[in-house]
Structure 1
Amino acid sequence: MALARVVLTSGRSVDLSELRMSSTYGGLLEGYPCKILNDRRIDGLLRTSEQAFPGTPVHLIPPPREYPDQYAGAFGPVEVLPAVTCVGSFRSEALDPAHDRALYRSRLTVVWFQPTSCVPSGCDAEPALRDVSWEQLATDEEL
């Protein structure tokens, strides 16, 4: 059973089968949010997502970056990502119409950032998540 169903702008419904949420800056003991820190965080998320979901394509939705008017330290200007980091494993019907619908499904792991800890659902998911180009990014798997 899916945690939620998201309707993409293409009209395709995708089921969220696993969701990992964390505080984007949870555990930041020293320093401040900046481009270097954010880029490392994103690279690490992509690596761990590939390891956690082997054989499944991983797609990053580029996060919005805000630059509050704060003092720039040694690592450059303050750069802030949305508060919640999300890694979701999604499933849907097979991409290839020749595949038997009972034996195949498509899958994709998506990494994105959002301002709140709400589980994406229906048409209320983050617009960037709903805009994912499933047909170009996902892959079919045999059950």
Structure 2
Amino acid sequence: MSDVNRETTQAAVPALHFTLLLSATRRGARLARLLTERQLADWGVASEAAEHVVAELASNAVLHGRVPGRDFRLTLRLDAVGVLRIEVTDARGDRLPHTHDPVGDYAESGRGLLLVAAYADRWGVVDGPGPGCKTVWAELAPERGTA
């Protein structure tokens, strides 16, 4: 098989996709982590790092992105080369996460996104997909995204 055919075959492999709305509660955040664990196991790419990232992003959506009566969305995408993209969308587009450590040395909380940065190869935040919403995302390369 030529290199061209091999590349075409690899590109034709579809990405795996999972998305779900969850209640913006502590229970919803716990469920996000549990469902991530199970979905990744079903895909054959168990990842403790991904579970930690989802736990942090879901917790932030509940604590800082909650609007009464609105859910948050968890999306997982595994592309053909094994990059796992995690997205958590909440209803508070006006409250953007800090991209630096905003707390002092002795604070007991406020360092969750430092954990996301440590586990992820890239992460960020984008507006939308609708008005008033934001999506915080993280990508984990195959060697970091899987166990």
TM-score by length of 2: 0.39
Higher helix share: 2
TM-score by length of 1: 0.40
Higher strand share: 1
- Tell me which of the two structures has the higher relative contact order, counting C-alpha pairs closer than 8 angstroms and 6 or more residues apart: 1
